[in-house]
Structure 1
Amino acid sequence: MFGDYSIGDLSSIFVMQGFAGLILFSVYVLMALGLAIIFGQMGVINMAHGEFMILGAYVTYLCSSFFQSHLPSLFPIYFFVAMGLAFLASGAMGMLVEWGLIRHLYKRPLDTLLATWGLSLILQQAYRSIFGPREVGVELPSWMMGSVQVTDTIEVQINGLFVMGVTIVITLGVAALIFYSRFGQQIRAVMSNRTMAGAVGIDTERVDRLTFGLGCGIAGIAGSAFTMIGSTGPTSGQLYIVDTFLIVVFGGAASLLGTIASAFSISQTQSTLEFFLSGSMAKVLTLLAVVAILMLRPQGLFTLKVRR
C-alpha cells in the first residue's frame, strides 16, 4: 500500500489527509455534540438527528440565495447569519418535536428509535417536496475561497480553516454552558438523578425540552458547516447518522471529552484510509477497529459515573 511512495510523498499525503480529516472531524463533532447531549442526558435515540442537520444546511442554502438576490453588498457576511438562523430553525423544530412526540416516550428507548426513524422519513419527504429531489449547493463568499500554501506540496483550504474555527468556538461554548452555567448545572442534575432534581425544584420537563432543542440546534450549525464540504439533498443526513452514533457510543455517552476524542480518532482514520483504499473499505476497517475496542471497553473511551 505504501511501496509506491517515497518518504516525502507519504509525509505530504498524511498531512493533507490529516487536514481533510480535521474538516470531517469538525462536522462529526458538531453532529455528535448535539446527539451526545440528547442521548446522554435524555436517553433518547434520535434517528432523525441527520434531518435536523440537513434543515440547517437548507437554511444556509436559502440564506445564500436570498443574500445573492436581495442583499449582494452583505453577501460576504451571510454565512454568519445563516449559522444563527440554522441554529434557531433546527432548535425550534427540535423543541416542537420534543413537546409533540418525544416527551410521551421517555424510558422507552426502542419506541423513541422507531418514532424518530419514522420522523426522519417524514422530514426527508418534506425536504423532497419543498426543495426537490436534486442536491443543491451554496455559493461561498470570496474570502472563503482558495487555500493557504504551507509548503511546496501542502496547502490547506480556507473554508476548512473556517469550519474548524467554528467548531472550536461551538465546542468551548457548549463546555462552558454545561459546566459553568446554571442551566448546565440543571442538565447535569437531571442526568444524575431526575427524581431528586425534580424534588429540589428543577423543572425537568423544561430542561428536557431546552436540552433537546439545544442538541438539534447544534446539529443545524453542523448542517451549515456541511454545505462547505458537500452538496445538500433530502437524504444527505442519513449518510452521517450511523457514524455519529458510532462516535457517541465509542467516546462514551454523556462525555464531552470522549465525543471529541472519538470523533478525532474516527475521522482521521477514515480520511487516511480513504486515500489508499476505497471509501467503503475505509469505513469497514474503521468500524471493525471500533467494534474490537468496544469489545474490550464496552463503556467507551470515557465514561461518567452516574447515580441510578
Structure 2
Amino acid sequence: MSSGYSFADLTSIFVMQGFAGLSLFSVFVLMSLGLAIIFGQMGVINMAHGEFMILGAYVTWLTELFFKNFLPGLFGGYFFVAVVLAFICAALLGMFIERILIRHLYHRPLDTLLATWGLSLILQQAYRTLFGPREVGVDLPDWLMGSYHFGDNIEIPINGVFVMLLTLVITLLLGWLMYRSPWGIHVRAVVANRAMAGAVGINTARVDNHSFALGCGIAGIAGSAFTMIGSTGPTAGQQYIVDTFLVVVFGGAQSLIGTIASAFAISQSQSTLEFFLSGSMAKVMTLLIVVVILMLRPQGLFASRIRR
C-alpha cells in the first residue's frame, strides 16, 4: 500500500487525509449528535434525519442568494445568519413532525422506521419540486477562501477549519444543555425512568417534542456545514444516514462522548483508506472493522450506565 512513496510523502498524505477526515468528522458529529438525541435517548429510528440536514443546506443556499442579491455589503456574514435560520427551520419542522406523526409511534420501532422512511421520500420529492433535481452550491465569503500552508506539500483549507470550529462550539453548547441545564436534567430523567419522571411533574410529552426538535435542528446546522465542503441535492442526505446510524450505534446509543469518539474513528479510517483504496472499498473496510468491534462489544464504545 505504501510502495512508491517516500517517508515525507507518506507524512504529507496522512496529514492531508487526516485533515480531510476532520472535515468529514465535523459533519458526522453534527449529524450524529442530533441522531443520538432522537435515537439514543428517545428510541426513534428516524430515517428522515438526512433530509433535515438537506433542509438546513437549502436554507443556507437561499440565505446566500438573498444576501448576494439584496444585501451585498453584508455578504461576508451571511453564513452566521444561515446557521441560525437552518437550525430554526429544521427544529420547527421536527417539532411539527413529532406532534403529528412520531408521538403516535413511540415503542413501535418498526412502524417508526417505515413512517420516517416514507417521510424521507416525501421530503426528497418536495425538495426536488421546490429547488429542482440538480445539485446546488454556495459561494463562500472571501474570508473563508484560501488555505493555510504548512511546508511544501501540506495545505489546510480555511473553510475546513471554520467548519471544525463551528462543530466545537455546537458540541460544547449541547454538552452544557444536556448536562448543566434544567432541561437536560429533565431529558436524562425521562430516559432513566419515564414513569417516575412523569410522576414528579415532568411533562414527558413536551420533553419528547423538544428533544426531537433539537435533534432535527442540529441536523439543520450540519446541513449548513455541509455546504462548505460539498454541493447539495434532494437526495444528498441519504448518503450520510447509514454512516450516521453507524456512528451512533458504534459509540453507544445514549452517550454523547461515545458519539464524538466514534465519529472521529470512523471518519479518520474512511478518509485515510480512501486515498489508498476506492471510496466503496474504504467504506467496506471501515464497516467490517466496526462490525468486528461490535461483535466483541455490542453495547458500543461508551455505554451509558443507568438503573433499570
- Please say if 1:48 is aligned against 2:36: no
Residue 288 of structure 1 is matched in structure 2 by: 288
> In the aligned structure 2, how far is the partner of 1:307 from the partner of 1:131?
48
> In the aligned structure 1, how far is the partner of 2:202 from the partner of 2:24?
38
SS at match of 2:41: helix
Tell me the amino acid that sits aligned with residue 246 of structure 2.
L
- Please say if 1:116 is aligned against 2:116: yes
Superposed counterparts of 1:96-111, under 5 Å: 96-111=96-111
Superposed displacement of residue 307, structure 1: 2.9
> In the aligned structure 2, how far is the partner of 1:123 from the partner of 1:18?
34
> In the aligned structure 2, how far is the partner of 1:6 from the partner of 1:192?
54
Superposed counterparts of 1:130-145, under 5 Å: 130-145=130-145
- Please say if 1:10 is aligned against 2:16: no
Tell me the amino acid that sits aligned with residue 183 of structure 2.
F
Q: CA-to-partner distance for each residue in 1:87-129, whole Å, 9 max, x for gaps?
A: 0000000000000000000010111100000000000000000
Superposed counterparts of 1:117-266, under 5 Å: 117-266=117-266
TM-score normalised to the size of structure 2? 0.99
Residue 86 of structure 1 is matched in structure 2 by: 86
> In the aligned structure 1, how far is the partner of 2:299 from the partner of 2:285?
21
Superposed displacement of residue 177, structure 1: 0.4
SS at match of 2:305: coil
SS at match of 1:117: helix
> In the aligned structure 2, how far is the partner of 1:264 from the partner of 1:194?
32
Superposed displacement of residue 155, structure 1: 1.1
> In the aligned structure 1, how far is the partner of 2:61 from the partner of 2:306?
41
> In the aligned structure 2, how far is the partner of 1:233 from the partner of 1:85?
19
> In the aligned structure 1, how far is the partner of 2:193 from the partner of 2:92?
27
Superposed displacement of residue 229, structure 1: 1.1
Residue 38 of structure 2 is matched in structure 1 by: 38
> In the aligned structure 2, how far is the partner of 1:188 from the partner of 1:150?
44
SS at match of 2:23: helix
Superposed displacement of residue 86, structure 1: 0.1
> In the aligned structure 2, how far is the partner of 1:274 from the partner of 1:77?
34
Superposed displacement of residue 42, structure 1: 0.7
> In the aligned structure 1, how far is the partner of 2:148 from the partner of 2:118?
44
TM-score normalised to the size of structure 1? 0.99
* Structure 2: gaps of 5 or more residues: none
Residue 273 of structure 1 is matched in structure 2 by: 273
SS at match of 1:186: helix
Q: CA-to-partner distance for each residue in 1:143-186, whole Å, 9 max, x for gaps?
A: 00000011121110000000000000000000000000000000
* Structure 1: gaps of 5 or more residues: none
Tell me the amino acid that sits aligned with residue 297 of structure 1.
R
> In the aligned structure 1, how far is the partner of 2:138 from the partner of 2:125?
21
Tell me the amino acid that sits aligned with residue 56 of structure 2.
G
Tell me the amino acid that sits aligned with residue 61 of structure 1.
W
Number of equivalences: 308
Residue 61 of structure 2 is matched in structure 1 by: 61
> In the aligned structure 2, how far is the partner of 1:262 from the partner of 1:5?
30
Tell me the amino acid that sits aligned with residue 22 of structure 1.
L
> In the aligned structure 1, how far is the partner of 2:65 from the partner of 2:134?
16
> In the aligned structure 2, how far is the partner of 1:62 from the partner of 1:158?
23
Superposed displacement of residue 254, structure 1: 1.2
Could you list the structure 1 runs, at least 4 aligned residues long, displaced by more than 4 angstroms after superposition: none
Superposed displacement of residue 22, structure 1: 0.2
Note the aligned Cα RMSD (angstroms): 0.5
